[in-house]
Structure 1
Amino acid sequence: MTPLVAKLLHGLCMVAWWVIRRPFERKSKRNVLLRDAMDLREKAVLGVSFTGLGLIPFAYIATGFPAALDQAFSPVRAIAGLLLFVAALGLFYATHKALGRNWSVTLAVRAEHSLVTGGVYRFVRHPMYTAFWMWAIAQSLTLQNWLAGPAGIIGFGTLYLLRVGREEALMRETFGSEWNSYAARTPRIIPFAPPPRAR
């Protein structure tokens, strides 16, 4: 494993994520939106996350900039990061498959929206966020650069902190006691962690 191979394989995983998501994105557009929370705040946090997980690592992979911030390369770290990214891709696919037409890139409620509690949703309430955290950590391991590596954790972490509460409020408003019961027994993003009491 070399730095160049690690970068190229990380980039390939980024492309694989898009390949996984694209067909589900097309299918979800066929289901009518009843409520969409795509406001300025939502656009901003999506932009920050995309910058950290997409733009900065892509620029680093394509150009090597900023090479001055490169760390001493560890093949073991890079391999661990790539394995974690592959696991994240598997979780991405399982999450999209479980959601079906309920999936949306934004906070949204669609016609015939149902509360999904099966598949990977038996283990965590937000497996998509779990997968993005795995990706962000994988990026910090594989792209061993003080800017490109942690950019994913900062970018996605910003989205997560500013969005998860709004998403859960929307689910509570839409599904009421059904959501509260599900949230009370299911951890938020870490499987098998004791869930906090639903608010």
Structure 2
Amino acid sequence: MADLPDGLSWAAVPLRVVGVVLVLAGGAVLVDAFVRFVTEGFGTPAPVAPPEHLVVGGLYRYVRNPMYVGVLAAIVGQGLLLARSELLWYAAIAFVAVFCFVRVYEEPTLRRSFGTEYEEYRAAVPGWWPRLRPWARTSSG
């Protein structure tokens, strides 16, 4: 077998590959979510220019928070790729912070902005772990 750079064993290669996959997937999820906010929501993810319509298409049919899931996946991927446990701890801390932000600010704001449309969506689509089958809107919302 070929020699690997110092500090890298063959046993670590699969974790590094998973890391690369997570970084790339996380980035793709982010790009898709940003585009969806513009094309479906007619706005941005930023509170200063919120979407006019509730964004529930694309990856949002599987999980309510794909942007945050994508960012967290990318951080975990970097931790695995670079073999840095600090990044895995950072991902855990970031998850707690984002989870609290979503519960305290985002969900109440979406409830006020979109009412029963958001409640129907929230009841059907998990926040953090994607559902296996895409959700389909049942009302005209």
Partners of 1:79 and 1:168 in 2: CA distance: 35
1:23 corresponds to: none
Q: What runs of 5+ residues in structure 2 fail to find an aligned partner?
A: 133-141
Per the alignment, in what secondary structure is the counterpart of residue 191 of structure 1?
Answer: coil
Instruction: Confirm whether residue 192 of structure 1 aligns to residue 131 of structure 2.
Output: yes
Match of 2:85 among 146, 153, 172: 146
Matches within 5 A, 1:31-50: none
Q: Residues 29 and 66 of structure 2 are in contact (CA less than 8 Å); yes or no, is this contact kept in structure 1?
A: yes
TM-score by length of 1: 0.54
1:191–1:111: structure 2 CA closer, same or farther, 3 Å change rule? closer
Separation of aligned partners in 2, 1:83 and 1:132 = 13
- TM-fit CA distance, 1:110: 3.4
Does the C-alpha gap of structure 1 residues 88 and 114 become closer, same or farther in structure 2, counting only changes over 3 Å? same
- Does residue 161 of the first structure (1) align with residue 99 of the second (2)? yes
Q: Which residue of 2 aligns with 1:96?
A: 34
| Structure with the higher fraction of residues in helix conformation | 1
Query: In structure 1, how many angstroms separate the alpha carbons of the residues matched to 2:84 and 2:5?
Result: 10
Long gaps (5+) in structure 1: 5-69, 194-199
Query: Over the residues paired in the alignment, what is the CA RMSD in angstroms?
Result: 2.9
Superposed CA offset, 1:139-189 (max 9, x none): 221121333x32431442243132111211110011111110111111112
Which structure 2 residues correspond to residues 75-154 of structure 1 after superposition, within 5 A? Answer: 75-100=13-38, 101-105=42-46, 108=47, 110=49, 113-147=52-86, 149-154=87-92
- Matched with 1:181 is 120
What is the rounded CA distance, in whole Å, between the counterparts of 1:111 and 1:140 in structure 2?
32
Cα separation, 2, equivalents of 1:189 and 1:109: 24
Q: In 2, distance between residues paired with 1:84 and 1:191?
A: 15
Aligned amino acid, residue 117 of structure 2: E
Partner residue, 1:14: none
**3-state DSSP class of the match of 2:85?**
coil
Secondary structure, counterpart of 1:113 in structure 2: coil
Name the CA distance, whole Å, in 2 between partners of 1:74 and 1:113. Answer: 46
1:75 alignment partner AA = V
How many residues align? The count is: 126
Amino acid at match of 2:12: S
For the structure 1 residues 130 and 111, does the alpha-carbon distance in structure 2 shift closer, same or farther, using more than 3 Å as the test?
A: closer
Percent of aligned pairs sharing the same letter? 24
